Copies of this chain bind each other. A is one copy, B any other.
Amino acid sequence: MTNYADWVERFPGLSRLDLPTKQLLTTRSTIVSIPKDTMVFGPGESPENMLFLLDGTVRVQQVSETGHLIVLYRIEAGQSCVLTTACLLAYDDYSAEGIAESVVKAAAIPREVFDDLVAGSKPFRDFVFAAFSKRITDLFLMIDEVAFQRLDVRLADRLLKLSGGADKVATTHQKLSVELGTAREVISRQLQEFQRRGWIEQARGSVSLVDREQLQTLANHNS
């Protein structure tokens, strides 16, 4: 079992905090463990705490009234759910949900402590606003992508990102369609085309990236 007592130090954005602030974070936070495939937040599931992810990733996706799904972004270790708490408590007609993609370890801090920290620490304020800013600019880019980017480009890009450098991506056509907010059939057709060009190999539940170069070239095509 890993020791998470010094988690603040390992947080890139938080290491610059002054000692009292760090101590406040450490003493007032609880380390929680979230099982894989659990809904971290979502409709009817407002989290009372703000989370700092220490391990694992949370996938945030929009649940459309049309029955569709689309992945909005992921929260990785070293990032925080600032907006999770802030947003979702403020507006209850949201329709996004956060799902643990693996076992997630996180430091949970109560809302009041968060508020105190924002009030009392300039570096913490900067951390929070930087997180918000990054999120919003990323959402801008995502809207751009969804509205204007060709699907083959987006798919190539997503395959490379999901691979994380590995040769094989363990996923289904269905899951890939949710990544891009499109239909499974569309993914199937695109992957067939990639395969025909010799860029990938397919197996049930996985895609092997054979020619990363070509995929990268396509992905860079306007992006």
A residues neighboring B (CB under 8 Å):
62, 64-66, 68, 70, 72, 83, 86-91, 93-96, 115, 118-120, 122, 125, 129-130, 132-137, 139-144, 146-149, 181, 222-223
27 residue pairs of the A-B complex, CB under 8 angstroms, read: A62-B140, A64-B144, A64-B148, A68-B147, A70-B147, A72-B143, A86-B132, A87-B137, A90-B129, A90-B130, A90-B137, A91-B133, A91-B134, A91-B137, A93-B137, A94-B137, A115-B125, A118-B118, A118-B119, A118-B125, A119-B122, A119-B125, A132-B136, A139-B143, A143-B146, A146-B146, A147-B181
Residues from chain B with Cβ under 8 Å of A95 in the complex:
140-141, 144
Contacting pair B136 A87 (CB below 8 A): yes
**A-side interface mostly:** helix
Copy count, this protein chain? 2
Residues from chain B with Cβ under 8 Å of A134 in the complex:
90-91
Contacting pair A144 B86 (CB below 8 A): no
Q: Closest CB of chain B to A205's CB: distance in Å?
A: 25
Contacting pair B149 A66 (CB below 8 A): yes
Contacting pair A133 B66 (CB below 8 A): no
Contacting pair A83 B136 (CB below 8 A): yes
Residues from chain B with Cβ under 8 Å of A118 in the complex:
118-119, 125
Contacting pair A223 B65 (CB below 8 A): yes
A-B CB proximity, top 6 nearest? A90-B133, A147-B181, A87-B133, A139-B139, A68-B148, A66-B148
